[in-house]
C-alpha cells in the first residue's frame, strides 16, 4: 500500500493540470472543475492520513515488564502518533522529577523524593484520564501503554509508598523539631532513621525499575532517534 501512495504522488506530480480553472471567452466567464484530478488528490490525502497511524510509520518495541517491577511478561508495543505523544509526556514527567534519575543518598533528601513521587502519581493519573476514550478503544497499543502506566503506579510505586512513606514522614517531621538535630543537614538526619538501611534498599530497587521505565517511555516516544536525549 505504501508503494501505491508513492505511485499516486508521482502521478500527481507528473500531471500538469489544474483542479479549478477560470477562463474568459467572448465576454463569457467559463469555470471548469477537474473531477478526476480532485478525486486522485482526495485519495492521496486519505491514504496519507490513514497510514499515518498504521505500521508503515511505526517502530516496534519490546518492554521487559519484570525490569519495571510490574510482572514477568514481555510487552510488545507498536505505537501510533498519539501513543508516542502520551509516552513523551510521561517521559518528560519522569525525567524532570527525582523518580527516573539515580538517587544519591548522600545528597538527595528522602522527604523531597517522596514529594516528587507523589506528584508523579497524580500527574500520571491525569495524563491517563486525558486520553480520549475513542483512541483507547480503537488501539490495543494505547491500552498497553495505559496499563503499563497504571501498573507502574499500583505495583511499582504504591507498595513502597504504603510501607515506608507515612512512617518516615512522621518520624522525619518529628526529628526536624528535635533540638538535638539543630545544625544537622537533612541528609544527616535521615540517616538516623531506625529502619534507614531497609528503606534505602527498597527505594533503590524501585528507583532502578523506574529508570528502566523512563528509558522505555523514551523509546516508545522517539524510537532509536532518542539516543541523544538524556
Quote the CA–CA distance of 219 and 225 in Å, as a whole number. 8
Residue 219, pLDDT score: 87
Residue 28, pLDDT score: 59
Please list the ranges in the chain whose pLDDT falls under 50. Answer: 1-2, 5, 8-9, 12, 15-17, 31, 55-57
Q: Give the per-residue SS3 of 73-118.
A: CEEEECCCHHHHHHHHHHHHHHHCCCCCCCCCCCCCCHHHHHHHHH
pLDDT digits (tens, 9 = 90+) for 152-178: 999 889 999 999 999 999 999 999 999
The residue with cell 498497553 is 144
Question: What's the grid cell of residue 121?
Answer: 502519581
Helix residue spans in 96-180 (DSSP H): 110-129, 133-138, 140-151, 158-160, 166-176
Quote the CA–CA distance of 221 and 90 in Å, as a whole number. 9
Concatenating the DSSP letter of every residue in 182-224 gives TT--HHHHHTT-TTHHHHHHHHHHHHHHHHHHHHHHHHHHHGG
Residue 55, pLDDT score: 45
Enter the pTM of the model: 0.69
Question: What's the grid cell of residue 146?
Answer: 495505559
Amino acid at each position: 500500500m505504501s508503494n501505491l501512495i508513492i505511485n499516486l504522488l508521482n502521478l500527481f506530480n507528473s500531471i500538469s493540470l489544474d483542479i479549478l480553472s477560470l477562463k474568459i471567452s467572448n465576454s463569457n466567464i467559463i469555470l471548469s472543475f477537474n473531477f478526476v484530478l480532485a478525486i486522485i488528490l482526495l485519495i492521496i490525502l486519505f491514504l496519507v492520513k490513514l497510514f499515518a497511524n498504521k505500521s508503515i510509520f511505526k517502530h516496534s518495541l519490546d518492554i521487559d515488564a519484570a525490569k519495571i517491577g510490574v510482572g514477568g511478561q514481555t510487552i510488545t508495543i507498536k505505537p501510533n502518533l498519539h501513543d508516542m505523544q502520551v509516552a513523551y509526556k510521561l517521559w518528560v514527567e519522569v525525567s524532570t522529577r527525582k523518580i527516573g534519575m539515580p538517587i544519591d543518598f548522600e545528597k538527595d533528601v528522602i522527604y523531597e523524593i517522596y514529594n516528587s513521587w507523589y506528584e508523579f502519581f497524580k500527574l500520571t493519573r491525569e495524563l491517563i484520564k486525558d486520553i480520549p476514550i475513542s483512541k483507547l478503544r480503537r488501539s490495543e497499543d494505547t491500552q498497553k501503554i495505559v496499563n503499563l502506566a497504571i501498573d507502574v503506579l499500583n505495583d511499582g510505586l504504591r507498595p513502597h509508598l504504603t510501607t515506608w512513606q507515612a512512617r518516615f514522614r512522621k518520624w522525619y517531621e518529628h526529628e526536624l523539631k528535635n533540638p538535638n538535630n539543630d545544625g544537622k543537614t537533612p541528609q544527616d538526619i535521615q540517616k538516623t532513621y531506625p529502619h534507614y538501611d531497609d528503606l534505602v534498599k527498597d527505594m533503590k530497587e524501585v528507583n532502578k525499575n523506574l529508570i528502566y521505565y523512563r528509558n522505555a517511555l523514551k523509546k516508545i516516544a522517539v524510537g532509536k532517534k532518542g539516543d541523544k536525549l538524556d
